[in-house]
Chain A
């Protein structure tokens, strides 16, 4: 169990700069006292977060992994933290930071480490997944609450609301004093517009869906589905971690009725672990520890046996 493990200090860490695309990224590389694995874990945070992640989750994970013989790299994306560059816009999962990950992989492989693990949360999970199919030496991918839709971060609220609120309730809410006031606020205005777009699309598709008793999963990102299929073909183990209260998990359950379900059935090395409560954005310390524990257990299993299959005690999604 992770609780019984030792962990490293900065004595085993090196801050590094490395090129990635047009920018110079900053990262902290953890070297294990004894390289028993020959494997490096790359830790990819959510959009807008810095390399440490909330409450230093990435620091804690890197140091625990280091104590267990893994190398680890935590990094600031371009335009974030200590890295150079300027973000063109708010990170969007449909535009993952591939060149950031490519630069990181190049630097890590230049250290003589060819076996890689990708661990990403939210936007970082989608960045990991987008790069994964073509990545040589990939041993496994951990995706913590990955978004299934190709939405900008600020479009999520409106989309989620639209899928939860009925048409009549939507009209009533739209006419409320608070909602009308909200049009003055640019952020709320974007949410309302997104809400209306999604609602209109749902209503438009409703007759077709009723007629064909069809599952509409057109909203599930191709950039998510295709890499999952590709990784299954390559027999690369994949771990999904969700919280029962994550809206990404609601999407995940819904999507399993369609093509994602079919893809997962053909991916025996894919595991889904579900934690009670919210996991997305690591909103409490207990969840952070549970995620670290599950991730660590899984990585150890994968790294030692490459047979990470079967059901889990947390429940398979």
Chain B
């Protein structure tokens, strides 16, 4: 069991908090977002310019749609045997941006990819695209999506919560099933997306693949703040480490903290309290792959004890270590060209093999 202070574990190994999310009961009164993922607070900033508007008010600052929505576009890659289709989808006012990668023929199974959070989205983007292309060429349809408030999707990050992200993932799964007719759906998540993917699997079952997942969300935010402080100390040596507490205060006071041009928002921070990866991985999870991406040669203690705990509960859990220097929150002058980057190639090959064996055991990989 992980050291996740706010998490209450049950005998079956799942957290009560996770179960509450499954039942949609987590902080219903205080959640800033309603069941449809809409903001309850009635006031949403556009970026940081402080323009207040009611997202539920069609006469507010957000303009009403002028035409029927079915904006999608697709491409066919006969050489690879895949088709790709981008669209805005989902129920409610705020649409999610989604990207479907499917084989030209009938898919044998499906996978939903849950991307990371903020700066980490950019770092992982191409890996996810490459994995999706590889899997779809091998008969597994893949649905990728951007959380509401992020990427090309509608909305604002300030009203995204863990619950809205989980709804986004489940909505993406529905979209995948609707578009392809697949009956078997697995989930893959990277970093923060690992938590989201795990919570989606906790809800609807399936196989779960995790790339360098966040284990404890609050510790994850602490690490982001620590990283910001170190960065600021480098720029301005007068800043002290006590600034970490000041950042938390600012988050509580102002509702968001600017971390190198990305916001960390209070709604998400608060909504993730008490959650943990371990709490989501339980009975409905058919099997789990955990891939560590980092400089270490062996599995870090944090992951090792997590996997040990899963296996102790009789779960099928596999691990893989990919040695790579990944700087999740820093966009430096150099970044790998993933198509030719050996660690990425290994990562995608290992993940594809595992997913193919689990999602489509009878099928043959064509590429």
Given the complex of chains A and B, what is the CA–CA distance between A287 and B262 in angstroms?
A: 12
Q: Are B154 and A10 in contact (CB under 8 A)?
A: yes
Residues on A with C-beta less than 8 A from B74 are: 17
Given A15-B97, A56-B150, A284-B260, decide whether A156 and B333 contact each other with a Cβ distance below 8 A: yes
Name which of B61-69, B180-188, B208-216, B272-280 contacts chain A.
B61-69
Closest CB in chain B relative to A224 CB, distance in Å:
20
Residues on A with C-beta less than 8 A from B129 are: 81-82
The interface size of chain A toward B, counting residues with CB under 8 Å, comes to: 55
Which of A8, A15, A286 meets B258, CB within 8 Å? A286
Across the interface, name the chain B residue whose C-beta is closest to A52: B151
Binary interface encoding of chain A residues 281-293 relative to chain B, with 1 for a CB under 8 A from any of its CBs, else 0: 1111111110011
Across the interface, name the chain B residue whose C-beta is closest to A48: B335
Cβ of B334 < 8 Å from any Cβ of A? yes
Closest CB in chain B relative to A8 CB, distance in Å:
5
Residues on B with C-beta less than 8 A from A289 are: 47-49
Q: Are A81 and B126 in contact (CB under 8 A)?
A: yes
Q: Are A285 and B263 in contact (CB under 8 A)?
A: yes
Residues on A with C-beta less than 8 A from B339 are: 79, 86-87
Q: Are A7 and B63 in contact (CB under 8 A)?
A: yes
Q: Are B65 and A7 in contact (CB under 8 A)?
A: no
Which of A67, A90, A293 meets B334, CB within 8 Å? A90
Cβ of B145 < 8 Å from any Cβ of A? no
Q: Are B334 and A54 in contact (CB under 8 A)?
A: no
Residues on B with C-beta less than 8 A from A153 are: 333-334
Residues on A with C-beta less than 8 A from B75 are: 17, 24
Cβ of A252 < 8 Å from any Cβ of B? no
Across the interface, name the chain A residue whose C-beta is closest to B260: A283
Q: Are B258 and A285 in contact (CB under 8 A)?
A: yes
Q: Are B71 and A10 in contact (CB under 8 A)?
A: yes
- Report whether over half of chain A's contact residues are helix, strand or loop; otherwise say mixed: mixed
Q: Which of B128-146 contact A (CB under 8 A)?
A: 129
Cβ of A311 < 8 Å from any Cβ of B? no
Q: Are B152 and A52 in contact (CB under 8 A)?
A: yes
Q: Which of A261-286 contact B (CB under 8 A)?
A: 281-286
Binary interface encoding of chain A residues 42-56 relative to chain B, with 1 for a CB under 8 A from any of its CBs, else 0: 000000111110111
Residues on A with C-beta less than 8 A from B47 are: 60, 285, 288-289, 292
Q: Are B333 and A154 in contact (CB under 8 A)?
A: yes
Given A10-B153, A55-B262, A288-B261, decide whether A15 and B72 contact each other with a Cβ distance below 8 A: yes
Q: Are B262 and A9 in contact (CB under 8 A)?
A: no
Which of B63, B93, B95, B122 meets A33, CB within 8 Å? B63
Residues on A with C-beta less than 8 A from B227 are: none
Given the complex of chains A and B, what is the CA–CA distance between A295 and B271 in angstroms?
A: 36
Q: Are B261 and A282 in contact (CB under 8 A)?
A: yes
Closest CB in chain A relative to B266 CB, distance in Å:
15
Q: Are A14 and B262 in contact (CB under 8 A)?
A: no
Cβ of B3 < 8 Å from any Cβ of A? no
Q: Are B151 and A59 in contact (CB under 8 A)?
A: yes
Closest CB in chain A relative to B346 CB, distance in Å:
18
Given the complex of chains A and B, what is the CA–CA distance between A77 and B69 in angstroms?
A: 26
Q: Are A285 and B48 in contact (CB under 8 A)?
A: yes
Given A15-B97, A55-B261, A281-B331, decide whether A8 and B63 contact each other with a Cβ distance below 8 A: yes
Residues on B with C-beta less than 8 A from A26 are: 86
Binary interface encoding of chain A residues 10-35 relative to chain B, with 1 for a CB under 8 A from any of its CBs, else 0: 11111111000000101010000100
Closest CB in chain A relative to B217 CB, distance in Å:
21
Closest CB in chain A relative to B61 CB, distance in Å:
5
Q: Are A50 and B73 in contact (CB under 8 A)?
A: no
Q: Are B95 and A9 in contact (CB under 8 A)?
A: yes
Given A59-B151, A154-B333, A281-B331, decide whether A12 and B66 contact each other with a Cβ distance below 8 A: yes
Residues on A with C-beta less than 8 A from B331 are: 48-49, 54, 281
Residues on A with C-beta less than 8 A from B122 are: 49-50, 54
Cβ of A187 < 8 Å from any Cβ of B? yes
Given the complex of chains A and B, what is the CA–CA distance between A287 and B48 in angstroms?
A: 10
Residues on B with C-beta less than 8 A from A282 are: 261
Given A9-B94, A289-B49, decide whether A284 and B73 contact each other with a Cβ distance below 8 A: no
Residues on A with C-beta less than 8 A from B61 are: 6-7
Residues on B with C-beta less than 8 A from A254 are: none
Binary interface encoding of chain A residues 66-78 relative to chain B, with 1 for a CB under 8 A from any of its CBs, else 0: 0100000000000
Cβ of B337 < 8 Å from any Cβ of A? yes
Binary interface encoding of chain B residues 226-265 relative to chain A, with 1 for a CB under 8 A from any of its CBs, else 0: 0000000000000000000000000000000010111100
Closest CB in chain A relative to B91 CB, distance in Å:
14
Given the complex of chains A and B, what is the CA–CA distance between A187 and B330 in angstroms?
A: 15
Cβ of B314 < 8 Å from any Cβ of A? no
Cβ of B220 < 8 Å from any Cβ of A? no
Instruction: Report the 5 A-B pairs with minimum CB-CB distance, sorted nearest first.
Output: A11-B65, A15-B86, A10-B88, A14-B71, A33-B66
Q: Can you list 18 pairs linking A and B with CB atoms under 8 Å apart?
A: A9-B154, A10-B97, A10-B152, A11-B69, A15-B73, A15-B87, A15-B97, A48-B335, A49-B331, A54-B262, A81-B129, A82-B99, A86-B337, A90-B335, A154-B334, A285-B47, A285-B261, A286-B48
Which residues of B are in contact with A by a Cβ distance under 8 Å?
A: 46-51, 61-67, 69, 71-75, 77, 84, 86-88, 93-95, 97, 99, 118-119, 122, 125-126, 129, 150-154, 258, 260-263, 331, 333-335, 337, 339-340
Which residues of A are in contact with B by a Cβ distance under 8 Å?
A: 2-4, 6-17, 24, 26, 28, 33, 48-52, 54-56, 59-60, 67, 79-82, 84, 86-87, 89-90, 153-154, 156-157, 187, 281-289, 292-293
